[in-house]
Amino acid sequence: MNYFSSDFKLGILGGGQLGKMLLTETRKFDIQTYILDPSDEAPSQFGATKFFHGSLMDFDTVYKFGKMVNLLTIEIENVNLDALDKLEEEGLPVYPSPKTLRLIQNKGRQKDFYVQNNIPTSPHQRFIDLNDLRKSLEKDELEFPFVWKSAQFGYDGNGVKIVRSAIDLMKLPDVECIAEQMVPFKNELAVIIVRSVSGDVKTYPVVEMEFHPEANQVEYVICPARIDEKVAQKATEIALKVSGAFNHVGLLAVEMFQTKNDEILVNEVAPRPHNSGHYSIEASYTSQFENHIRAILDLPLGNTNSKVAGIMVNLVGEEGFSGQVVYENISNIMAIDGVTPHIYGKRETRPFRKMGHVTIVNENMDEARKIAEEVKNSIRVISI
């Protein structure tokens, strides 16, 4: 198959910032791209060969979109899987497959999958709704505190809450959910695995994630993680086991906890490019986005090693600001060596909305971390 400068059409379900960054690679290789997204202001609308406005959860919309392309991939998990099943049955390559997505899309099913495959994860219980969870508390089958997660449609800290008391329960939506045992951990880590159609596999270095205490969003991604080599090796081995169990094609980001006694527990996965791999655009020999394209087209995978230490800072909307976005002090941070901002193209900001990220590269990790702090304290995402 000739993908380059040809009639081949790659379809991408989802046109957010991940789609936009995938398009940088498809444009580099001159691959035609069709994108479907529910927002007519999606960041990917300008970079695609053709952009289609429509629901990712509607069977007919996804099916008809799939019939226009030669291969289909995703940048978001919440898509209509029945449509993908039918397209795959009719011979369209879909990566990751609907079978893989079905295991991952529902967090309860995902957690059960880890248990069934002897993959270390925190103990959990599944509930059909909030009432079901309350009954479990009344019977002392569940106790405070615990981590509540919506079984479906959670993202970027939405759909995850720490529940410490009955008062916290009152703030939760009445949806299918899971309750996870709180894990006393010292680090949150992630490993991105890339797997091609032929089964070639490469791993990116283990990264360390520092979270915002209130928003439950990643503030900094640090590569390489500042951890013992044995812990990094264990995290990579477990991530490879997870990847093998899911048998995905493309990228799989495996998020993990490093416990107080250096055990590794899998938190959750994302079968697509991921926030924890954004640093790779500047810091790696091959970015996660390029390797996702290589993997789904069954081309040789690129070198996943880092050229230099990299730290990513998320740019999220400040509390108290909604409306037309303004990036305050952006020219100040661009004056610093090794600092590259990525603006996602969302015109409207709101509190904690992901609006962009900044990568800091430096030969010296400590220096990179200092600059990251300076960047975080300088730039503000506000509104007019």
Q: Is 237 annotated as a binding residue?
A: no
197, 249 Cβ separation under 8 angstroms = yes
Q: Is 152 annotated as a binding residue?
A: no
DSSP 8-state secondary structure symbol assigned to residue 46: G
Q: Is 107 annotated as a binding residue?
A: yes
Residue 50: name the closest of 71, 36, 40, 66 by CA: 36
Backbone angles phi, psi at 347, to 5 degrees: -70, -30
Name the amino acid, one letter, at 235.
A
**List of residues 6+ apart from 376 with CB closer than 8 A:** 219, 220, 313
208, 191 Cβ separation under 8 angstroms = no
Strand partners, 327: 381
Q: Is 183 annotated as a binding residue?
A: yes
Q: Is 111 annotated as a binding residue?
A: no
Rounded Cα distance, 9 and 19, in Å: 15
Torsion-angle region of 7 (φ positive above 0: left; ψ -120 to 50: alpha; else: beta): alpha
Helices (H), 280-321: 280-283, 288-296
Q: Is 181 annotated as a binding residue?
A: yes
Q: Is 307 annotated as a binding residue?
A: no
323, 384 Cβ separation under 8 angstroms = yes
CA 381 to chain centre: 21
Q: Is 188 annotated as a binding residue?
A: yes
Distances 198 to 70, 148, 212, 266, 308 between C-alpha atoms, Å? 18, 38, 39, 26, 30
Q: Is 268 annotated as a binding residue?
A: yes
Binding residues: 107, 149, 180-183, 188, 267-268
Binding residues for ATP: 107, 149, 180-183, 188, 267-268
